[in-house]
A and B are shown apart, each in its own frame.
Chain A
């Protein structure tokens, strides 16, 4: 069981370049998420998708776009990369309702450097 898989793991971009981070989950979860993690800032939500066909902004959406391609896949696109977008990006999916709430499961992360 692979869980949440994201690619690429490492990427170096030049300022102004574009790229797409890919993510897929095999846990049959409805909700999916993109977070970024910066030192001292914790995990910050960029965008999320409550279900197939819907996407919503999180805490830090500027400079990003997302696509929920189907139930399994949720991609994150940087249209014109900036040095401020240098970060570690985590894709996640969410499952479980009721008392356990919406439990978040993370992919392995994508380390992105913008020079």
Chain B
């Protein structure tokens, strides 16, 4: 069974701090990695994806990938209360099946 693991949280950070969200995956053949944000009662929305080792930055968000360690993370700089949501890690290993983690709840305290 291919798995994607995330700490369920909640992860609580003060406003303005860096929030660090982590994800590990079991399939070494995984090729692309996605982060989604899901507000309560809403659908997941794509934040960013990464497929090469290293960092990828998009505004306040940075995705980090280490394929050797099978680890992907999302950093949120200058966290805002509006960032409070559940963050889903998703892994694509080819074909038409993408595996989602159960998500990490983030709470940003004003």
For the residues of A in contact with B, the DSSP-based class is: strand
B13-21, B76-84, B91-99 - the one binding chain A:
B91-99
CB <8 Å contact, A106 and B97:
no
Interface size class on chain A is 20 to 34
CB <8 Å contact, A94 and B96:
yes
CB <8 Å contact, A45 and B46:
no
Q: Which of A31, A105, A109 contacts B96 (CB 8 A)?
A: A31
For the residues of B in contact with A, the DSSP-based class is: loop
Give complex CA distance A36, B88 in Å.
14
| Interface set of A (CB-CB < 8 Å, partner B) | 31, 33, 35, 40-43, 45, 48, 50, 56, 58, 90, 94, 99-109
| Interface set of B (CB-CB < 8 Å, partner A) | 8, 31-32, 34, 42-46, 49, 51, 88, 90, 92, 95-98, 100-103
A–B complex contacts, Cβ < 8 Å, 25 sampled: A40-B8, A40-B102, A41-B102, A42-B88, A42-B100, A43-B88, A45-B97, A48-B96, A48-B97, A56-B96, A94-B98, A99-B51, A101-B32, A101-B51, A101-B98, A102-B32, A102-B95, A102-B98, A103-B34, A103-B49, A106-B44, A106-B45, A107-B43, A108-B42, A109-B42
